[in-house]
Amino acid sequence: MSSPGSLRAPLLWLLLPFMAGLTLAELHRPVPLDVRWGAGVAGGMAVVAWLFRQRGARGAQFAWSATLIGTAGLAGYLWLPLRSPPGLTWDAAPREVNVVLEIEQIYAPAPQRKTFSGLARIVSAEGPASGLAGQRVYFAAIRRISTVPDVSGHYRYRGLVEPVPPAVGSSRGFDRYLESLGVRLRLMRGQLHEQQRPPQRFRHFCARVRERLDGILEQGLDRYPQISSLYQAMLLGEKAVLSSEQQSAFMRSGVFHIFSISGLHVGVIATAILSGLTLLRVPRREASIAGLVVLWLYVQVTGASTPAERAFLMIAFLVSSRVFRLPGNSLAALAAAAFTTLLLEPRQLFMAGFQMSYSVVTALVVMGGPLADRWRSAWKPWRELPESHWGWWRHATRWGGDGFLAAAAITWAAVIASTPGSIGNFGLFSPGALLGNLVIVPLASLAIIGGFISLLCGLVGLLPLSILFNHASAVVILTMDALVKWTTAVPGVYFPATFDRAWMGPAAQVAVLGTMLLVASRRVPHGHWLAVVVLALTMILGVKFG
């Protein structure tokens, strides 16, 4: 069982009001009057708290705490416009522009698409669009007449500029995703040409390594394109290679997250790296440093997507707190990772990936782990028979039961935490996700480990071993694909569902997660059912099915 105090995270007293301040700034952008008013209130609270503390008066601790919380909230309110200033809008009709773009991210194009797209920043612009310099934009270019760009390179683009349509009345859709990134303009139906500046050397190195990894994963799977597409999507995050049927099946079953280089992938590969270095008898501290370096390179080579970098930051804080014996625990490390993420990029708070990933991981820490300990402690078969008299099958049964109960508890906590986000962002309620994640996630982990070993073998020239692990992973993936397609055909595995109002999704997420944290802090016996009750009430009162 988790020891008392093992879930203490004092940084939450700063993180939560900071997040509230960011939310307020998103809803109501601060003006100079707001800044002066807020600074005056914070200064007044600080003076009052100091006077209370100097006199040793009653309520000094409360005044000091209130000042700290208020200052954190004000910091969040001011930090969003400082780090992500509002860009210019383009209210006119679509108009042709000639600009130079610095490529930030390229979305892998589906084979049948005639365009490719990505995110970029306008370096310079000509004519009436000159005021757009510095804006972050979404761009789409016609593949037939465009140069294939590299990340961090500068390219000239000619096309139409138009505003991103507001996601009115809905929290879903790609437009909502762009809105959460602070992207308000898009360049459409254009041509990308004339490289102005080549990509950075490191990015060029990552692109070459990525091509090499693609080739290794294709070894021995040339005749099985569907399996190969799933394999590449799982190891390198190339979701565009999935067929529409595959995307739909994995989405409805609630396990589509296995194709995003995020917590599952980075966590499994981190475990594999650290386990391998431990087997080689590398000292623990040196192994952790080397493992984090290799893990960071993997994240960069696979595209340095926001979910992958977010997952790396989580793992880096968790590993550092344990290996370097820093004071803290898993929840404290998680809070530090979230605070650091929001300081670097505060707009991540409004992205579905940030909300769902931190909600799920927090649920695993505060609810999944303790619940797994409780269920496993209650699982005591043959308790009246001494273990010395057990046969191998009794030991195997207890070991299997322990593993199943731990996985069930963790999956149960993850499903409860992710359900509001799944409904709010994807319009799906997937009861089958409980069973799906319980079966698919272990299989996906096996496939990821097999693929990672295949990549290592291929990089050192052991192609026969690489082919062997590719085939082993292919068998696992084939099993996964068949299970997902079969389960999605079963009635009741998923239902189309939406919240009555867009704000209800984030509110339900906060209510469920807040209940979990409250139960964990008060150590309420069997309190996990309170989170289930809160989730059920929000779905009954605020969700429309069908």
153-162 pLDDT, tens digit per residue, is 899 999 888 8
pLDDT digits (tens, 9 = 90+) for 317-347: 888 877 766 655 788 888 888 999 999 889 8
Identify the pLDDT of residue 167: 59
Average pLDDT, the chain: 81
**β-pairing verdict for 185-197 and 495-499:** unpaired
Reply yes or no on whether the pLDDT at 491 is more than 60. Answer: yes
Identify the pLDDT of residue 546: 75
Tokens 């600074």, residue located: 39
Band (528; pLDDT cuts 50, 70, 90): confident
Identify the pLDDT of residue 16: 92
Band (280; pLDDT cuts 50, 70, 90): confident
Q: For residue 220, give every residue at least 6 positions away whose Cβ sits within 8 Å of its Cβ, in sequence order, or none.
A: 466, 467, 470, 471
Q: Are 71 and 47 in contact (CB under 8 A)?
A: no
Q: Report the share of the chain in percent with pLDDT over 70.
A: 83
Band (255; pLDDT cuts 50, 70, 90): low
**509: number of Cβ within 10 Å:** 24
Buried b (16+ CB within 10 A) or exposed e, 193-215: eeeeeebeeebeebeebbeebee
Identity at 154, one-letter amino acid code: H
Q: Are 424 and 239 in contact (CB under 8 A)?
A: no
Reply yes or no on whether the pLDDT at 241 is more than 60. Answer: no
Reply yes or no on whether the pLDDT at 205 is more than 80. Answer: yes
Helix 60-83 × helix 12-27 angle, to 10° = 50
More confident residue, 18 or 166: 18
Identify the pLDDT of residue 392: 84
From residue 43, give the alpha-carbon distance in Å to each of 1, 7, 19, 49, 310: 44, 32, 21, 10, 34
Band (247; pLDDT cuts 50, 70, 90): low
pLDDT digits (tens, 9 = 90+) for 292-321: 898 898 888 887 777 788 888 888 888 887
Identify the pLDDT of residue 281: 85
